[in-house]
């Protein structure tokens, strides 16, 4: 299996907790590669901050490689066309005062993290891939069969289309691939949360189609269209005669997520899932943690310590460091 995590200068300290959880729970024999992909306009500075954290991967350190966005997006064969407008407004956006942002080459970081996740397929060392965010921390050991069936299909939870943003992401993605006529009534798609298991060949096929239509994946995401990375994968499956079957298998997975937009009640219910032995990962957004009452904050730190990820003082240090970056 190959793993990829897109890292941004505003959340990079969280990579330390993820790396510690890899060292604690992930068998080196099942790992082909781990790519830490920088999503930042100042990659040299971010790389200098990331490098000291890599020792936390322990026995997996030799399988970890830190890459910049250019290595996924601008190498020969990774794009079909680079029009002048793309070179100016996407590749050299960091040179333009007033519109420069903090993501790859001055792009919007939220948008660029999405196309970098798709681009990770170009450097993965195996067909089976898992895309992660820096906030994802493993809570236990696992077998590769939890992520991939014998047939090769990625095992991931499917869900009904209930929220407006889910519907919009999917409709925009279908439209981007010329499949806007698909009926969404009663349709279930994969989740759009990380960890996200996928097959490398699916992502590469999708990238080839995007290149044919838009010149490059960054060209699509830099346009006025608003697809999402994971709904584009769904759209590719939905427009194909084979559908989801070769690529995804509906399989529930217990991944806990703490988000700052959650109510106190929702945060408490999410943390109650720590009692479930099947809980695989904890999505630990540092701003969400600051919203927790002291007893629930203590629960998070106690869990990380009791599971052998790290002691409380180290977790607090990491999260406090991240909090100073995000405000």
pLDDT, block means (10 residues), the chain with 327 residues? 96 96 98 98 97 98 98 98 96 94 96 98 98 97 97 97 96 97 94 97 98 98 97 97 96 92 90 95 85 88 95 91 78
Cis peptide before 195 (omega within 30 of 0): yes
Cβ-Cβ contacts under 8 Å for 75 (sequence gap 6 or more): 122
The 8-class DSSP code of residue 105 comes to G
CA 252 to chain centre: 18
**Is the Cα torsion angle 317, 50, 52, 56 positive or negative in sign?**
positive
pLDDT at 327: 58
pLDDT for position 259: 87
**Whole-number pLDDT of residue 91:** 96
pLDDT number for residue 286:
74
Cα–Cα dist 38/57, whole Å:
17
Q: Under 8 Å CB-to-CB from 26, ≥6 apart: which residues?
A: 60, 138, 141, 142
pTM: 0.95
Give the angle 34-251-244 at the CA atoms, nearest 5°: 85
Give 4's contacts (C-beta < 8 A, 6+ positions apart).
34, 35, 37, 117, 120, 123, 124, 129, 130, 131, 132
pLDDT value, residue 322: 85
| 94 closest CA partner among 42, 38, 37 | 42
Q: What distance in Å separates the CA atoms of residue 54 and residue 58, rounded to the nearest whole number?
A: 8
> Alpha-carbon distance 53 to 204, whole Å?
30
* Residues in CB range of 163: below 8 A, 6 or more apart: none
Q: Which residues have a Cβ under 8 Å from the Cβ of 102 and sit 6 or more positions away? A: 8, 9, 10, 40, 41, 109
What is the pLDDT at residue 226?
97
User: 132, 140 in Cβ contact below 8 A?
Assistant: no
Predicted local distance difference test score (pLDDT) of residue 311: 95
Residue 152: the pLDDT is 96
Q: Looking at residue 292, what is its pLDDT?
A: 83
Longest dimension (CA), the chain: 55
Phi, psi of 235 (to 5 degrees): -60, -40
């Amino acid at each position: 299996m190959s793993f990829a995590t897109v890292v941004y200068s505003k959340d990079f300290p969280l990579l330390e907790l993820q790396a510690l959880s890899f060292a604690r729970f992930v068998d080196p024999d099942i790992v082909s590669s781990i790519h830490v992909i920088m999503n930042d306009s100042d990659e040299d500075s971010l790389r200098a901050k990331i490098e000291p954290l890599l020792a936390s991967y322990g026995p997996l350190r030799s399988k970890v490689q830190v890459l910049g966005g250019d290595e996924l997006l601008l190498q020969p064969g990774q794009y079909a066309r680079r029009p002048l407008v793309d070179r100016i407004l996407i590749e050299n956006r960091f040179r333009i005062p007033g519109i420069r942002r903090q993501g790859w080459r001055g792009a919007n970081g939220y948008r660029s993290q999405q196309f970098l996740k798709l681009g990770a397929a170009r450097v993965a060392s195996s067909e089976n891939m898992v895309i992660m965010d820096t906030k994802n921390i493993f809570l236990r050991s696992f077998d590769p069969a939890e992520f991939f069936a014998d047939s090769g299909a990625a095992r991931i939870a499917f869900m009904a289309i209930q929220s407006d943003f889910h519907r919009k992401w999917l409709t925009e993605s279908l439209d981007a691939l010329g499949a806007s006529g698909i009926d969404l009534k009663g349709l279930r798609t994969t989740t759009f949360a990380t960890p996200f298991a996928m097959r490398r060949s699916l992502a590469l096929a999708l990238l080839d189609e995007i290149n044919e239509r838009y010149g490059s994946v960054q060209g699509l995401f830099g346009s006025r269209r608003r697809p999402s990375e994971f709904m584009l994968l769904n759209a590719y499956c939905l427009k194909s005669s084979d559908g989801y079957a070769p690529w995804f298998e509906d399989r529930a997975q217990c991944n806990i997520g703490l988000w700052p937009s959650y109510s106190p009640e929702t945060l408490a219910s999410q943390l109650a899932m720590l009692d479930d032995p099947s809980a695989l990962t904890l999505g630990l957004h540092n701003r969400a943690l600051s919203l927790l009452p002291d007893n629930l904050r203590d629960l998070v730190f106690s869990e990380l310590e009791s599971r052998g990820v790290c002691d409380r003082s180290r977790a607090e240090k990491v999260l406090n460091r991240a909090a100073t970056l995000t405000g």
